[in-house]
Amino acid sequence: DCGLGFGYSANIGEAQSEGFEFSFAADIADGVKLDGGVGYTNSRITDNGGLATVVEGTRLADVPELSGGLALDISHEFGDVRGYGRIDARYVGESTSAQRNRRPEYALLNLRVGAQFDTFDISLFANNVTDKRANLSDPTELSDSLNLIAINRPRTIGIDVRTRF
């Protein structure tokens, strides 16, 4: 620590990471698609590299044990207009930061409904519908003396207009 909130990092001896990921995509009906996935990661320090402050067997920083997501897409043609909707959710399990602070689990939900016609696409969206403030990181530069964290974007509602040419 140089006294200005910036520190230095050192590598540990060794770590091991094992796990699995499973994903799927299914056309449930005409214009209805469901996709998702889940992941499990068991990541541990196996050799502390001689650093007394590092305990072998400790989970690796910023790596949640469980994570997953699910999305439902619906679309339908109305003459020359294609209407669509999407709902998606993402889950990230609890983890520990590099500063050894607990980072709680969180889930995010997003919604979108729109229409495509001619060369235009217009949609209404709501991201992070539940307005969850997830602890994404507590970087050393921010958190040493101020105990600050980096969070995700708060609830965002808007209109998206696009054109193709």
The pLDDT assigned to 105 comes to: 96
Say what the pLDDT of residue 6 is. 57
First to last CA, the chain: 54
Q: Running DSSP on this structure, what letter comes out for residue 59?
A: B
Residue among 40, 25, 114 nearest 70 (CA): 25
Neighbours of 134 (CB within 10 A): 19
User: Residue 165 CA to chain centroid, in angstroms?
Assistant: 33
Amino acid found at 37:
G
Which amino acid is it at 2?
Answer: C
DSSP state of 41: E
Which parts of the chain sit beneath pLDDT 70?
A: 1-9, 140-147
Cα–Cα distance for residue pair 59/16, rounded to 1 Å: 10
Q: Which pLDDT value is given to residue 1? A: 47
- pTM score above 0.95: no
Query: CA angle at residue 156 from 74 to 94, to 5 degrees?
Result: 85
